Structure 1
Amino acid sequence: MRQPLLSERGFSLGMMFQQAARRYGAVPVTLDRPLDVSPGAGLDLSYPELADLVDDLSARLWAAGVRPTERVAIHKTDNVDIVVLACAVSRIGAVPALLSPGLHGRVAGELLDRLDQPWLLTDRATLDGSLRDAGAPAAEAGAPGARAPGIAGLVRQVLTVDPSGGAAAEPGGAVPLDTYVGAPPHAPVRLHPREPSLITHSSGTTGVPKLAVHCANTMWNRLVPQKAMGWPTRGESAALHLSFVHSRFYHLLGVLLHFGSPLLLIVDPDPASAGPLLARHRPGIVETHPNTFVLWEELADAPGAPLSWVRSYGSTFDAIHPRTVRKLLGASRRRAPWLVQLYGQSETGPVAFQWYSRRGAAKADGRRVGTAIPGFTRVRIADGEGRRAAPGAPGRIEARTRGRILTYLGAQETYDRQLRDGWWQMGDVGYRGRWGGLYLMDREIDLIDEVNSNLAVEDVLMSRLDELREVVIVPGAEREPVPVVCVRGDEPLDTRRWREATADLPVMSAPLQWRFDDLPRTSTWKIKRVEITAMLTEGVLPAVRFGG
């Protein structure tokens, strides 16, 4: 039998759970919150139960009228059923478009508009909440292309995923997905590997997010190296707290299902909630966002030793602070635990990786984000003229990868501007070390003349001041470096310790102390630095009181 060419291979979400169930049987999947689409299923599920739910939901979607290649926006309250719905949409050949639950209504409306009349899967809480402000404005009667006012003017049909329970009619002409319970099953539909198969959006740290269009082939090219990285921990139980609308979650899930790992899927990252779950399940693999790992530092010595059996930590989305790496690895009682950091973007997938051991973490440089993935990615530094920069010389980070998205939906020119002879501009500034290691300095948009690397200074401060929950250095109204700090427990910042910690660092403005919850963040908890700078420039700052 002819083996598929590389360009024909694909990673499809639609049959992940079914394939894993056939291969491994009733492997447990534990939740910390019941599924909104099936609350009666409880918290303790399995591969086959989730596979059956995907089959059922895909049958309902087909009965509702969803067809192959059509776009289905999923925008609802944060929960694991975002994943189940995405798999169900994919199973019948439609294209899930995943919109973060944290989007403001105006932004969600703009993205729905770009999707060009998609189906919308949502819930009543979102319809009554953020989506109330997302509707298209009413057009003048009889105007060409006039659309209905409200959310109905942006989408083909709204399908609500809440169990109906005989409730009154849904708002705005929405139809409960429960209407189609008992629909006959429909055979899986597999799109061509180079057709659009998933749409996610960029973080939006620099403005309105862009819609990234993935296909099964580019996703396969991201999945294969991640399977290789997952081989040493194959079959270990895994605890995940990740954004369910980010492509990284689906690749990691694909790896874990491939190896038959029991899963603990966490929605609420609060240590008071997550800690006991981790202590009870003792996962060998833990992955979450870097800022959540900072929050989970307090689990290092928490009752029940929740991190004691971790063999492998995974961190992506953003560089992780060396202090956090040391604390996480120190919490494990396994003989040789490690942390793997992936550097990349939604548009590229991971393009570089870095491994930390206990010994390596003690002298880790948080700015080193690793090396390119052999056989899959290449990374270079380009100077202002687009030429390859010498080792040690800073410049734009560019990557070449087979995992690059197809395009930005509705923004092809923006996509093309980021490509240069097949090299994708990451939007970051960094340099290559003598031995080829990649060092990240800052986002291009965040550069400050007086500071060589904001991120490097932040690493130093986090290491010197253990009480810090977060520190970000942003350009102020006059492009001066302004440190915004958050202290654990919202205690007042000790100004004496701050002065001592910053004595040998670049001169900065006096620190502004905010509560962590007041920092504008993305769904992966990245800090929106541009938005903070805008707040400083406009003088619109959070009203914060500390010390009781």
Structure 2
Amino acid sequence: MYKVPKSKKILYLGVVSERAAEKYGTTPITLDHDMQVFPEAGRTLTVSEFARHVADTADRLWAAGVRPTEHVAVYKTSNFDITVLACGAARIGAVPVMLSPHLDGDSIGELLQRLQRPTLLTDREKLTGPLAGLPLDGLTARVVTTTGSHPGAVSFADLAGAPERRPVLLDPDQPALMTHTSGTTGIPKLVVHSARSLGARGNWQDKVVSFIRKRETVAMHVSYVHSRMYLGLAVLQTRGMPMVFMNDGSPEHVADMLVRHRPGVLETHPNSFLEWEQMLDDPRRPISNVKYFNSTFDAIHPSTMHKFLHATDRRSPVFLQVYGQSECGPLAARTYRRRNALKADGRCQGYPTPFMTKYRLVPRNGEKPSKETPGYIDVATAGRALSYHGEQERFDRQVLGEWWRGGDVGYRTKWGCLHLLDREVDTIPGIESTLEIEDEVLHKLEELTELVIVPGPDRQPVPVVCTRGDEPLDVRRWKAAVAGHPALAAPVQRRLSDLPRTATMKIRRLELARQLAEQLGGERQEEPTAAR
């Protein structure tokens, strides 16, 4: 078995745009909103202009007192300017720490404490909202507000005109960026990336983009605090690909944006693709020019891929599904076409990339890993993060030599394809794979916009369902669809907007199970329960 080599490619987030601008400076970056930090930039800027805003941000942060290797926590209202702030901090050698706008004040307080007095980049909305009850004087070295003014905070606007600073490039194996895990299992862990580990991930993604033979417009609706956003920006800018970034993920708005810009590449979270199925009925046919669909962060349902592949007019469209983790980046991938998407096993994550990633299956209970007795999925990649900040022992428990044990369980087919069945913490006795059942039922019931199976108060698998337009679930159709799964409890119906989610739109299954335990109180339900 080959050994994954150490990455030779280094990615410095603070200068990648400046370097890309030397060749592709006029490449457009289009937004569906104004940047709060630089509202004068408008909704269309170039790679060169993006690079100038990054440099301006770096100058202002240095003037505010930020220095190399210091932590800069970015926690503000969702906006594309988050990427400018992060890259600006990186440009002066600081370590941007990306905190989801969806995190509550208590979680932010705990993460700030773990960071040991970072600089906090935030805005007035967060300062008067989730942060209002926190002792920021004791938790931070300084607070910089990107909008308006606030007692005890430095105004970002007042730092305009700061003297220019040259970029600071740290050692490639030093911390360069922190993102956090999805938070599906409690307070998120802060994942520490280096310029080298980011370079390895970027190299993987650059190879994928190299298969796009013509200059296509790329439309993305992706969390601004996820490492995927920064790798995507770096690869697309250095390839000169026009970009469209959407902040509003509602199907109606996304349809308008796609009709206006007609992208050839579309990327979002799996759950967003599922929600966007309703736009496929739009007579303007917003998907008609998309040739490449990309879904990262989590597994996607085969029926969803099938619908999008058949909604485009492009010849031989491709749906790329990537399996990865925050700690390691992309690990395995598989492409789907019109002919095979619906027939595909939704649990198939594809194959590792030769000389870049590899995986192994390890028995959990002394039995050979199989579909009935899935094993731990261990992975090895040059893109593995350095640590969990402030929780090194927790990180080290998952490191087994060159291997990383991320908590997923699955098995390998006779063709070498990796099949992911569940997160270990989400497994339910008597159910081989909750994800597999969800795939099957979503395909049978077009009226469902989401289905999540979680353990109920007595560990019985409880399906939580969401329907189009929040119409009442048709009980007879439901019973017919799940007839082959007698272990399932009666479904609980909820609005899609009420499901607890992460920054990348994953359902927080443990939190949902906790909410159900409070609601159901251990009682078995005979009919669907409307949890509105």
TM range (shorter): over 0.9
Residue of 160, 164, 175 corresponding to 2:145? 160
- Tell me the distance in 2 between the aligned counterparts of 1:472 and 1:172: 44
Q: How is 1:129-208 mapped onto 2 (pairs within 5 angstroms)? A: 129-133=129-133, 135=134, 150-162=135-147, 164=148, 170-208=149-187
1:519 equivalent in structure 2:
499
2:463 equivalent in structure 1:
483
- Tell me the distance in 2 between the aligned counterparts of 1:544 and 1:156: 47
- Tell me the distance in 1 between the aligned counterparts of 2:428 and 2:137: 44
Distance 1:302 1:173, change over 3 A: same
Distance 1:224 1:343, change over 3 A: same
1:14 equivalent in structure 2:
14
- Tell me the distance in 1 between the aligned counterparts of 2:157 and 2:86: 17
Paired residues of 2:35 and 2:79 also in contact (CA < 8 A): yes
Q: Is 1:283 matched up with 2:268? A: no
Distance 1:224 1:106, change over 3 A: same
Q: Which deviations, in whole Å up to 9, do the C-alpha atoms of 1:215-248 show, x marking residues without a partner? A: 0001111111211111122531100000010011
Structure 2: stretches of 5+ with no match in the other structure: 522-528
3-state secondary structure, aligned to 2:184 = coil
Q: Which deviations, in whole Å up to 9, do the C-alpha atoms of 1:153-174 show, x marking residues without a partner? A: 1100000111x4xxxxx33400
- Tell me the distance in 2 between the aligned counterparts of 1:545 and 1:191: 51
Residue type of the alignment partner of 2:232: L
Q: Which stretch shows the higher mean deviation, 64-73 or 246-255?
A: 246-255
3-state secondary structure, aligned to 2:310 = helix
3-state secondary structure, aligned to 2:137 = helix
Residue of 186, 209, 212 corresponding to 2:188? 209
* Displacement after TM superposition at 1:25 (Å): 2.5
* Displacement after TM superposition at 1:301 (Å): 3.3
2:409 equivalent in structure 1:
429
3-state secondary structure, aligned to 1:113 = helix
Residue type of the alignment partner of 1:259: R
Q: How is 1:248-397 mapped onto 2 (pairs within 5 angstroms)? A: 248-384=228-364, 389=369, 394-397=374-377
- Tell me the distance in 1 between the aligned counterparts of 2:275 and 2:313: 20
Q: Is 1:114 matched up with 2:114? A: yes
* Displacement after TM superposition at 1:10 (Å): 1.1
- Tell me the distance in 2 between the aligned counterparts of 1:430 and 1:469: 26
3-state secondary structure, aligned to 1:498 = helix
- Tell me the distance in 1 between the aligned counterparts of 2:184 and 2:353: 26
Distance 1:386 1:426, change over 3 A: farther
Q: How is 1:231-246 mapped onto 2 (pairs within 5 angstroms)? A: 231-233=210-212, 235-246=215-226
* Displacement after TM superposition at 1:9 (Å): 3.5
Distance 1:483 1:391, change over 3 A: closer
Residue type of the alignment partner of 1:231: S
Residue type of the alignment partner of 1:450: G
User: C-alpha root-mean-square deviation of aligned residues, in Å?
Assistant: 1.8
* Displacement after TM superposition at 1:391 (Å): 8.8
Q: Which stretch shows the higher mean deviation, 83-92 or 251-260?
A: 251-260
- Tell me the distance in 1 between the aligned counterparts of 2:175 and 2:531: 49
2:526 equivalent in structure 1:
none
Q: Which stretch shows the higher mean deviation, 233-242 or 206-215?
A: 233-242
* Displacement after TM superposition at 1:46 (Å): 1.3
3-state secondary structure, aligned to 2:316 = coil
- Tell me the distance in 2 between the aligned counterparts of 1:199 and 1:254: 17
Give the count of matched residue pairs.
520
- Tell me the distance in 1 between the aligned counterparts of 2:7 and 2:513: 43
- Tell me the distance in 2 between the aligned counterparts of 1:441 and 1:297: 24
- Tell me the distance in 2 between the aligned counterparts of 1:186 and 1:127: 29
Q: Which stretch shows the higher mean deviation, 12-21 or 519-528?
A: 12-21
Identity %: 49
Q: Is 1:123 matched up with 2:123? A: yes
Q: Which deviations, in whole Å up to 9, do the C-alpha atoms of 1:475-494 show, x marking residues without a partner? A: 01111100000001111111
* Displacement after TM superposition at 1:392 (Å): 7.8
Residue type of the alignment partner of 1:500: A
* Displacement after TM superposition at 1:296 (Å): 1.2
Q: Which deviations, in whole Å up to 9, do the C-alpha atoms of 1:245-283 show, x marking residues without a partner? A: 001111122221121111110000112111111111010
Paired residues of 1:442 and 1:454 also in contact (CA < 8 A): yes
- Tell me the distance in 2 between the aligned counterparts of 1:176 and 1:387: 60
Q: Which deviations, in whole Å up to 9, do the C-alpha atoms of 1:410-462 show, x marking residues without a partner? A: 11111011112321112111100001000011110111112111000000010
Q: Is 1:499 matched up with 2:499? A: no
1:105 equivalent in structure 2:
105
3-state secondary structure, aligned to 1:381 = strand
Q: How is 1:18-29 mapped onto 2 (pairs within 5 angstroms)? A: 18-29=18-29
3-state secondary structure, aligned to 1:360 = coil
- Tell me the distance in 2 between the aligned counterparts of 1:387 and 1:51: 54
2:524 equivalent in structure 1:
none
* Displacement after TM superposition at 1:540 (Å): 7.8
2:67 equivalent in structure 1:
67
Residue type of the alignment partner of 1:452: E
Structure 1 runs (4+) greater than 3 angstroms displaced: 5-9, 385-393, 543-546
Paired residues of 1:428 and 1:442 also in contact (CA < 8 A): yes
Q: Which deviations, in whole Å up to 9, do the C-alpha atoms of 1:75-108 show, x marking residues without a partner? A: 0000000001111111111110000000011001
Q: How is 1:60-99 mapped onto 2 (pairs within 5 angstroms)? A: 60-99=60-99
Q: Is 1:471 matched up with 2:456? A: no
Residue type of the alignment partner of 2:200: N
3-state secondary structure, aligned to 2:111 = helix
Distance 1:424 1:228, change over 3 A: same
Q: Which deviations, in whole Å up to 9, do the C-alpha atoms of 1:302-350 show, x marking residues without a partner? A: 1322111111111011100011000111111110110111111100101
Q: How is 1:433-472 mapped onto 2 (pairs within 5 angstroms)? A: 433-472=413-452
Distance 1:335 1:491, change over 3 A: same
3-state secondary structure, aligned to 2:12 = coil
* Displacement after TM superposition at 1:185 (Å): 1.2
Q: Which deviations, in whole Å up to 9, do the C-alpha atoms of 1:501-536 show, x marking residues without a partner? A: 111124211100000111110011100111111112
